[in-house]
Amino acid sequence: MRISTGQMFQQNTASILEKQSATNTIMAQISSGKRVNTAGDDPVAAIGIDNLKQKNALVDQFVKNIDYATSHIQQAESQLGQADTLAGSMKELVLRGANGSMTTAERQVIADDMRQSLEQLMSIANTKDESGNYIFAGNKTNSAPFAFDNNDQVVYSGDSGTRKSNIAAGVQVNTNVAGDAAFMNAANAMGDYGVNYSSTQQGDFVVSSAKITNTATHVPDTYSFNFVDDGAGAMNLEVSDSAVPASIVTTVAPFDASVPVSVNGIEVKLDGEPKIGDSFTIEQQPQVSIFDTFSKAIALFEAGDKAQTPAGQSELAQLLNNIDSGVNQMSQQRSVTGNSLKALQQYSDNHTDEKLINTSALSRLEDLDLASAITEFEKQQLALNAVSSVFSKISSTSLFDYI
């Protein structure tokens, strides 16, 4: 078979270019340290490499979200811890003020101290994060969530919203604690109703509970409990509603303090013994604010000797129970943040392990065996030199050299 000069040049040129391409590919691999630089180097491995890189990118984003969530939850947990400690100190002041040996001036000092602590508690509740957002405001992070109104009562202007962060596929965690859940919505220690004692109270008694026991017959209202003389030396209890004029809803005759009083689906229990002429009112209040509880304690201590009257002592007993309820509420929310931090750490560890596994698999797919690559490079370079040398000699040969 005859081979033309043009065909010979074409074949040898293609062979040289092939060897040059192979040499360049190996040089690129050695330079990058990667066996697969393009999909053409290993199409199957390239698909696996792309998938692993996408997984690592997702893991990196989850880790960033976890870092963000951890920072904000740690701040909320820290502030709740400070609030818990401060509330405990304020409760000790309330207990000190309830001591019968305290003078009016000494109770005023306690009230002043408590007011400063209340302002500090407000400051904690209005804490901002590093971006200037209020951490206990729910989703309304641009304005202070807590403030005193014209009646010197603390009002909450935030909402109950929770902000979430994706920390794993299909897994979210709250990154904040709403202020109403932490400070405003503590369960009323008495149940569903709060008590207002009369300043003329003479008997030594407290309302220990006032709970809704029958929702079907329950009628929400403000009820007055009046202890009256039955005319025969015994005492009756008359319970009236808030209508004008008031209507007597029920009468307990004779009254026995050891027996709960049931009225319109509400069960009221008393500890102690009231006296004829005593009275109190109850109004629906299933939740109490730790701020208002302390504010009432301060007002009680500022009202002269009221804290030493039977009504004052009854009110103090109720306030102390509500303080405990408020502290428990903050502690529960702090426990929630603690559980969230524990979960975040667990998912962070999982992501670290996943990243390590993915990186190891990625290394096996794309990392270059340098020793083998250098050997292959030298082999390809030797082949290229051989092809070039042979082609150089053949291309310079002419028929005229043999004539």
* DSSP-assigned letters across all residues of 164-198: EEEEETTEEEE----HIIIII-EEPTTBSEEEEE-
Residues of the chain under the 50 pLDDT cut: 1, 369, 399-400, 402
Q: What share of the chain is helix, strand, coil (3-state, %, to 5)?
A: 55, 20, 30
The C-alpha torsion from 248 through 249 and 253 to 258, rounded to 10°, is -130
Residue 102 in 3-state DSSP?
Answer: coil
User: Which contiguous run of DSSP H or E holds residue 120?
Assistant: helix 104-125
CA distances in angstroms from 360 to 29, 31, 52, 211, 218, listed in the order given: 19, 21, 10, 62, 67
Instruction: Report DSSP letters for 231-287, one per residue.
Output: SSS-EEEEEE-S-SS--EEEEESS--TTS-EEETTEEEEEEEE--TT-EEEEEE-SE
pLDDT at 137: 95
Residue written as token pair 């007055």: 224
221-270, pLDDT tens digit by residue? 999 999 999 888 889 999 999 999 999 999 999 999 999 999 999 999 99
Name the burial class of residue 137, with classes exposed (0-12), middle (13-18) and buried (19+) by CB atoms within 10 angstroms of its CB.
buried
pLDDT at 211: 96
pLDDT at 382: 59
Of 57, 52, 125, the residue nearest 86 (C-alpha): 125
**Are the beta carbons of 322 and 94 closer than 8 angstroms?**
no
pLDDT at 378: 56
Measure the CA angle with vertex 165, ends 163 and 167; round to 5°: 155
d(CA 152, CA 155) in angstroms, rounded, equals 9
Of 277, 295, 318, 306, the residue nearest 195 (C-alpha): 318
d(CA 185, CA 288) in angstroms, rounded, equals 6
pTM for this structure?
0.78
pLDDT at 348: 94
